[in-house]
Amino acid sequence: MKTLTILRHAKSSWKDSSLSDHDRPLNKRGEGDAPVMGARIQQAGIRPSLIVCSPAVRAWTTAKLIAQEISYPNEFLQRDERLYLAGVQRVIDLLCEQDVGFNSIMIVGHNPGFTDFANYLVPGLTHNIPTCGVVSVMIDTDDWNLKTKKNVELTTYDYPKNKT
């Protein structure tokens, strides 16, 4: 069994129109939501052995804030350009390359690709993973090859405004 956690970056700022999309930071709400969701991730028992993140500033900052809350060492965070605005196939390709020794991986990135990927794993899950939303699944597999459908069980779907 493998655990895969999909985390959409926290709310970003559009204040500075001179910044590229890649360089947009988190806004105040995003800076507050990420630690809250990190605490919820920890409470849910999600303990990634690897976190791979889009290098976009808003995703990288979210990953660092989450890592701090779950006691994941920042020096082990990995950036991968392929997660920047990745679609389903690119996410699958990235995961296929991961070592089978990792039993729990978290990916941090963007919509619409992350919502599409979550729905690939759990059909009909959601029309939109909100900012700083997290989807975690258990996958009945010994490796990270998700090119063929696997038996997938949803274990967590949470987001900052979720009151349950």
The string of DSSP codes covering 77-119 is -EE-GGGTT--HHHHHHHHHTS-TT-SEEEEEE-TTHHHHHHH
**How do 50-53 and 78-79 pair as beta strands?**
parallel
Written as one letter, the residue type at 67 is A
pTM listed for this prediction: 0.96
Residue 77 CA from chain centroid, whole number: 12
Domain ranges in the chain are 2-158
Q: 2-158 maps to which CATH number? A: 3.40.50.1240
pLDDT digits (tens, 9 = 90+) for 13-31: 988 888 898 999 999 999 9
Per-residue pLDDT at 164 exceeds 70 = no
* Strand order across the 2-8 sheet: 78-79, 50-53, 104-109, 2-8, 134-139, 152-158
pLDDT for residue 15: 87
pLDDT digits (tens, 9 = 90+) for 72-81: 999 999 999 9
pLDDT for residue 21: 87
pLDDT for residue 148: 83
- Predicted confidence band at 163 (pLDDT cuts at 50, 70, 90)? confident
45, two tokens: 């028992």
pLDDT digits (tens, 9 = 90+) for 112-154: 999 999 999 999 999 999 999 999 999 999 999 998 878 999 9
Per-residue pLDDT at 99 exceeds 90 = yes
